[in-house]
Amino acid sequence: MKRHAFSAAFAGTLLSAAMFASPAMAQDQEQFITIGTGGQTGVYYVVGQSICRLVNRLEDANIKCNAPSTGGSVANINGIKSGELDMGVAQSDVQYQAYNGTKSFEGDAYTDLRAVFRVHGEPLTLLARADSGITTLDDLVGKRVNIGNPGSGQRNTMQVVMDAKGWTMDTFSLASQLDAAEQASALADNNIDAMVYVVGHPNGSIQEATTTVDARLIPLNDEEVKGIVAEYPYYSASVIPGGLYKGNDEDVETFGVAATFVTTVKADDEVIYQTVKAVFDNFDRFKRLHPAFENLVAEEMATQGLSAPLHDGAARYYREQGWIK
Ligand code: GLU
C-alpha cells in the first residue's frame, strides 16, 4: 500500500500517536491502492474499474483506488510480487500455477499469493477471419496467429494447448504477440488470420472484430482439449453462447477458466476487508457494471475457483456473512 509522503517530523508525531491509536484511527491515514487489470477492450479492465468505483465511494475507509490497464494475468501477478500493484485480476489457471510453481512458474512458487474472490467465467476464445479457411483448432497450423503478449493469460493458456498438440512457434507462419487491445484491428486489417483471447463474454474486443470483418468463433473440443480438461483441475468445458456477436449465431464449445481477484499476504487486512465489503455490500450495483457479471453469485465467488489461500481480510468478511466457517 502506498501512503502519502509526509515529513519526518510529522511522521514522528504520527508514530507516537499510532502507539495509542485504535484500529479505526489507523484508517484516518489515506491509503492508495492499485489494481492490475488487462487491455481496455477486455473485461478485467471493467472489473478493476468497478471495484475502484465502489471502494472510492466508501466514506470511512479513506482508500483511494485506481485500476490501470496492464498486460493481463501474468503481468498482474508479477506486479503484485514486485510491489508495483496491491491487487489484480488473474485467471484461475495462472493463480494455481503461480502459487504452486508449475508450468510457466516452474521452480518459482509464489506462496505469498492470496485469493480474494472469483469473478466471471472466461472461455478460451479463438476467432478467425472467415476467409482464412480456419474452421478447427488444427487449421491454425501454418497460419498467422496472435498467440498473445507475454504477460497475458491467453499467452499462458495457449502454451498449454500448444504443448498438448506438440506445437512450437514454428507451427504458425506467424506467431504474433500483440496486446489484447490490438488484436481486433490486426484481424480486421488482415495482419493475422486468427486471435486467441481468454476472456468473459460479451466483450468489446470480439465485438469490435466481428463488426469490422467477417469472423467466426472456432470450437476447441477435440481430443487434446478434452485431455487438458481431464488432466488439470482448473480447466473445464465451456460454451460461448450463440447470438452475442455478429455472424456467430450458434453456441461454440470450448474450455475455460474463471477470472479471479488476487493479492499478497502482505496486503493490509483492513484494506482487503474494506475492498471486499465494498463489492459485496453493493453487489447488485457491481453486477450491473458489465453483462459478464450478470449471473454472479456472491457466495460462490467467495468459495469456488480459488487455489491460493484466502486473504485474512477477505476471510473475515466471508465469515461474517456465514459463507465460510
Ligand atoms: N484473461 C486475460 C488475461 O489474463 C484478460 C481478459 C480481460 O482483460 O478481460 O490476460
- Tell me: the pLDDT tens digits for 247-289? 999 999 999 999 999 999 999 999 999 999 999 999 999 999 9
CATH number for the domain spanning 204: value is: 3.40.190.10
Residues 105 and 127 in one domain: no
Looking at the domain assignment, is residue 234 inside a domain? yes
Looking at the domain assignment, is residue 206 inside a domain? yes
Residues 106 and 156 in one domain: no
Residues 148 and 230 in one domain: yes
Looking at the domain assignment, is residue 269 inside a domain? yes
Looking at the domain assignment, is residue 15 inside a domain? no
Sign for the CA dihedral angle at 180, 186, 188, 192 comes to: negative
For ligand 1, atom 3: residue with the closest CA: 153
Residues 199 and 239 in one domain: yes
Residue with cell 504520527: 14
Q: Are 220 and 157 in contact (CB under 8 A)?
A: no
Q: Which domain holds residue 246?
A: 122-256
Residues 174 and 71 in one domain: no
Residues 89 and 137 in one domain: no
Look at residues 238, 256, 274 and tell me which one is the last residue of a structural domain. Answer: 256
- Which of 122, 260, 262 gets mutated to test ligand 1 (max ligand atoms within 8 A of its CB)? 122
What domain count does the chain have? 2
pLDDT in tens, 92-130: 999 999 999 999 899 999 999 999 999 999 999 999 999
- Which of 40, 73, 149, 196 gets mutated to test ligand 1 (max ligand atoms within 8 A of its CB)? 73
Distance CA 303, CA 74 (A): 22
Query: 170-175 contacts: CB < 8 A, separation 24 or more?
Result: 171/140, 171/141, 171/142, 172/140, 172/141, 172/142, 172/143, 172/144, 172/145, 172/147, 173/142, 173/143, 173/144, 174/143, 174/144, 174/145, 175/145, 175/147
Residues 246 and 130 in one domain: yes
Residues 91, 140, 144: CA angle, nearest 5 degrees: 90
CA 261 to centroid of ligand 1, rounded, Å: 12
How many other C-beta atoms lie within 10 A of the C-beta of residue 309?
13
pLDDT category of residue 22 using cuts at 50, 70 and 90 = very low
Is pLDDT at 320 greater than 50 in this prediction? yes
Question: What residues line ligand 1, using a CB cutoff of 6 Å?
Answer: 38-39, 42-44, 72-73, 91, 122, 152-154, 180, 198-200
The pLDDT value given to residue 143: 98
- Which of 93, 127, 149, 198 gets mutated to test ligand 1 (max ligand atoms within 8 A of its CB)? 198
The pLDDT value given to residue 59: 86
pLDDT in tens, 165-189: 999 999 999 999 999 999 999 999 9
Residues 236 and 176 in one domain: yes
Residues 52 and 177 in one domain: no
Find all residues with CB under 8 Å of 215, minimum gap 6, and list them.
Answer: 127, 128, 129, 130, 187, 209, 247
